[in-house]
Structure 1
Amino acid sequence: MVIMWSRREIKVIFLIVFITLSPSLLTLAYSQTLIHSGIGPVRWWWGGMTSPPSLPISISVNNSVPVATVTLHGEQLNLYITNITGGNVSIQVSCETNDSILTLNQITDYNARFVYPTETPSSNNDQDFNVTVIWEGENATITIDYFFIMAIHIDGNVIWTSPEYELVYTSGIHLLVGGLVVLIVCMTYIRRRWGPLQY
């Protein structure tokens, strides 16, 4: 005995399959568009790199050393001049893309925080920053503290998902399971109501 599906049954079953499974398959297909690959997203790194490598940094000037420069390396410089002792000095800060980003003439105190560039970095574009202290007739020492924000990209085949990926993918799985259950129930009902054709 061979059980065959009638043409009518086949049409109804295809319709049921389409209605019950297409929402889940479309949802799962959409979830795949939320998976990305390539260069990874920006990751923030906070730190300090100096020459010489020490924090905080003390810079002294006098008649023998009228100009002293310290080079810092990073992306967004956050600079603090925490102390000036001995007398007034002039301070100049420059970088590779700007010859003069800060000029302080003959100061004895400076407690403000200096940030350059002011925009939050979004790409790996680090550079050298030069902090130059100029003698103004009095022996002086300044103390600076600082940190950098570095935007680091991960090279290579990195895969990451959009925030809504998990919700969309889970919804697709739930719809698929529900659709399969409905499909099985409908097929069972059709066979019991119409009965199989026997040849």
Structure 2
Amino acid sequence: MKGYTRPLFLVLVVLFLDQVIKFWVKLNMTLGQEFKIVGNRALIHFTENNGMAFGMEFGGESGKLALSVFRILAVLGIGYGLVYMIKRKYHRGLILCVSLIFAGAVGNIIDSTFYGMIFSESTWYEKAVLFPAGGGYSSIFHGKVVDMFYFPLLQGTFPSWFPLWSNEEFIFFRPVFNLADSAISVGVIIILIFQKRYFKEEVQESASYHSEVIEE
């Protein structure tokens, strides 16, 4: 288990916190309900989406099923890559970043795979119920992803001279997201920032490994 402890711990912590937050929101808030954290700049706003991260959509029921299957295949690929990196002793920072991405992907898969089976429908007037007597609101792979973090830091209207969006309202940051989305984003951003450090070491180690094989 040497080398697996920290990545496994990180994955379990992210998954646990992600699901605790989602369960609390699902069971204690109605759809569209929100709580202010820091005025109007940071809110808990309950919404659900049928598609990808940050509320993006992906075409109807068939699209939903295709997306769920794609997510599972992608997670299997990421999981395989993570184990490979640990075995080959890749840079610890890279391994932890991939662990964040893996945990975030699994977190949203849990929603889309199982939430439709274990929760009743959340509406604008009623909170969801866990394991309702009449069954869940949907079937396996057709659950909705729960989102709740909303940070509309800047709000205003584009000036009349602005191209394409003149006189239209703008909000930054508009998407509502969850902890799993955040884990994926943080993992990707850190990899992009430190990619030279992460991958330079791997190229050097790979070259050293191949030279040792040739000498033998």
Q: Do they superpose with TM above 0.5? A: no
- TM-score where L is the length of structure 1: 0.25
- TM-score where L is the length of structure 2: 0.24
Higher percent of residues as strand: 1
| Structure ID, larger Rg | 1
Higher percent of residues as helix: 2
Higher RCO (Cα < 8 Å, 6 or more apart)? 1
